[in-house]
Structure 1
Amino acid sequence: MSIEKFIQDGVTGWMSAHGEHSDIVMSTRIRLARNLTGYRFPIAFTEDDAMAVDRAASGVLLDTNQPNYSYMKMSEIPSLERLVLIEKHLISPHLANPERHGAVLLSEDETVSVMVNEEDHIRIQCIYPGLQLEDAYKKADEVDNLLESELPYAFDESFGYMTSCPSNTGTGMRASVMMHLPALTITKQIERIIPAISRLGIVVRGSYGEGSDAPGNVYQVSNQTTLGKTEQEILVDLGNITSRLIAHERQSRELLIAKSRLALENRLFRSLGTIAYARLLPNGEAARCLSDVRLGIDLGIIQDVDMSILNELMIFMQPGFLQQYAGTELSQEERDVFRAKLFRERLNIANAPASLEEDREE
């Protein structure tokens, strides 16, 4: 399977809007960090080390007896296509650097991503829609066991799996949920909740991880440390925090309806009008409006809009995907114009004046 399939098909499994509590929890992700004995860690390895690790890891998953995986070497993929893979959460920004000799193996349904020569020799990622911590971990563990049966993992009886970053030593597992928390953000409760959560060993970041912001009120909630706890303990702790956040978000939504329904409805329908009819749509405004419309659908205020379309548009609106879809590099203003046209067409607005196919030919 070629890179074009993963680039051109904007829809990926976690966007399906299915799974438990999918109105708040957009996706669940499990990442496992692993290194191999006999090779320097990526922070200090040589090109020969990198190539040997690549051959070893990819050789296991590309075996004909295994499910279909597609192999992609970062140095052979144009920068724009690497950006699209990042926007779809299929690879990390760290892996996208072509000078690091990185590669990725992607399962056909895009639920499993095995990154080679990222921060560690191997990063196994499994991402599912909604809240599915146990199922996502089970799948990641299955891939991990397969690799470990063929490869010599760096493991210490006292410290667990050895990793490039000390904070990952132990289980090497990062479990995270991507959550849409508009009511907590609107009421500013999120500002006091985040510090409180961090004291419990859970970190809250933007949707693209460390150093990213939270456009569209989408947050990534994950475990902070992996040493001293088992995988199941980490899953239970994150599950408990996630359940509490879900409860707080639902209470905040009810409070907004009870105390400010008219103002809330006005905000939500204004946002729907913006993404339905705007001719210029900056990325930040698009994210805010999508968040509002998503909230309106969850509350039953806005109807006849498919939630999975909104999940798709979260990816479609990103700079890399827009330019890939347009077939050319776009300035910021051109992206804002193209983004608005894309939203109108995807939302099936009958009086949109021009199709995207016509725009691409201009």
Structure 2
Amino acid sequence: MRGSGPESDIVISSRIRLARNLAEFPFIRRCTPQDRKSIEKMVHDRLQAIPGFNTLYYLRVDELPHVDRQFLTERQLISREHAEAEGARSVAIDNDERLSVMINEEDHLRIQVMKSGLDLHSAWQQINEVDDQLESKLSYAFHERLGYLTACPTNVGTGMRVSVMLHLPALVITNQIEKVFRSLQKINLAVRGLYGEGSQAMGDFYQISNQITLGKSEEELIGQVSGVVPMIIEYERKARDFLITQNREDLHDKISRAYGILCTAQTISSEETMHLLSSVRMGVNLGLIDDLAISDINKLFVETQPAHLQKLRGNELDTAGRNIERALYLRRYLQDRGKEHRDERN
């Protein structure tokens, strides 16, 4: 959210996820309710035995109310599937919310590490260490020829998904985004929305990730994604340069209108907020808005999501109530930040 990582004007985050299963149990879809409970208890107990892991926040997802499960999904700490599943399941999260271990998702374990900006190699170093520590206490399902065995065949091998979340508003405005996506698909890279597989792109955010893991090493998968992302960054920056050079007035007008609506709206949906914040975020990066920092916009993207609003308000709200509360939150936040920046200049 601070937007402090490498290339953070365009790359929001880097994430590596590992799928692992325990040798003693069948895959999740073949598990009985008792199997799920046994897996959950085993992993919890083994985590507690690893130095440093006993400080993780450990949450029983199946015991959480809907709004709390949605809250964790909005923070990218659990998947939508994990939030909506049935039976015993949990998640362990570190203090910085960079590491999370989902238990009883599609696989017995889904380990993920997130970093700000384009920082895949740092993410790999951390998750590799975590995986080694877990493997020292747990017996993974592993085949000498195939590698790690997973519920979905596309994850067999390393069990690794390497993904980078990018903000690409200029490529959308200049109608070049589909061309980029077609090129990525030709080299077996997947393009997904804000919340991963099956989700729509909101606020011009896109996740780029590998599609298959079998037959490639972890380093090759990281290299495949990290080798392509700089080219996408270059395309986005060129598109922004084109807009600012050839169409500055129209671009400035579009961004100013978006900012104005966010500052004055009395009711606003999550989807419209994401769309408008996308324009404002680009405006901040291009120097067309100087009252806000990228960290402000990144924060607003998260805290205007439905569950976050309800947690901030302290009670559940229906759709209409959330839209009113969202508009109120945006007005107050943007007015306060604008006043702070004006006071700093004076």
2:256 equivalent to 1:265: no
| 1:191-340 → structure 2 map (5 Å cutoff) | 191-340=178-327
Shift, 1:276, TM fit: 1.4
State TM-score, norm by structure 1.
0.90
Check the 8 A contact 2:11/2:164 in 1, yes or no.
yes
Q: 2:60 aligns with which of 47, 55, 73?
A: 73
Contact 1:70 1:105 in 2 (8 A): yes
Query: C-alpha distance in 1, partners of 2:180/2:155?
Result: 24
Instruction: Give ranges in structure 2 of 5+ residues lacking alignment.
Output: 340-346
Match of 1:61 in 2: 47
> For residue 342 of structure 2, what is the aligned residue in structure 1?
none
- Report what 1:6 is aligned to: none
Specify whether residues 50 and 346 from structure 1 end up closer, same or farther in structure 2 by C-alpha distance, changes over 3 A only. same
Q: State which of 118, 130, 145 in structure 2 corresponds to 1:143.
A: 130
User: Where does residue 343 of structure 2 map in the other structure?
Assistant: none
Distance 1:165 1:42 in 2: 11
What is the CA RMSD across the aligned residues, in angstroms? Answer: 1.5
Distance 2:37 2:92 in 1: 15
What's 1:90 paired with? 77
Distance 2:74 2:242 in 1: 34
Residues 322-331 or 25-34, more deviating: 322-331
- Once the two structures are overlaid, the 10-residue window that deviates more, 29-38 or 52-61, is 52-61
CA deviation after TM superposition for structure 1 residue 281, in Å: 1.4
| Counterpart pick for 1:48 among 20, 31, 34 | 34
Q: Partners of 2:316 and 2:44 in 1: how far apart?
A: 32
Structure 2 Cα separation of the partners of residues 47 and 62 of structure 1: 23
Deviation per CA, 1:52-110: give whole Å up to 9, x if none.
Answer: 21122222322373241011111211111111000110101111135231100111111
How far does residue 258 in structure 1 lie from its aligned partner after superposition?
1.2
How many aligned residue pairs are there? Answer: 338
Between the aligned partners of 1:59 and 1:77, the Cα distance in structure 2 is 20
Specify which of 139, 145, 148 is matched with residue 152 of structure 1.
139
The worse-fitting range, judged by mean Cα deviation, of 278-287 and 52-61 is 52-61
Work out whether 1:37 is the aligned partner of 2:29. Answer: no
1:113 counterpart letter in structure 2:
S
CA shift in 2, pair 1:69/1:285, >3 Å: same
Q: Name the structure 2 match of 1:7.
A: none
SS of corresponding position for 1:38: coil
Partner of 2:330: 343
CA contact (8 A) 2:57 2:93 kept: yes
Corresponding residue for 1:8? none
What CA deviation, in whole Å up to 9, does each residue of 1:107-161 have, x standing for no partner?
Answer: 1111100000000000001011101000011111111000001111011111110
Write the letter of the residue equivalent to 2:57. Answer: S
Answer yes or no: is 1:17 the counterpart of 2:42.
no
Quick check: 1:276–1:349 contact (8 Å CA) kept in 2?
Answer: no
For structure 1, which runs of at least 5 residues remain unmatched after alignment?
1-14, 353-362
Contact 2:20–2:149 at 8 Å: present in 1 too? yes
Q: Residue type matched to 2:52 in 1?
A: Q
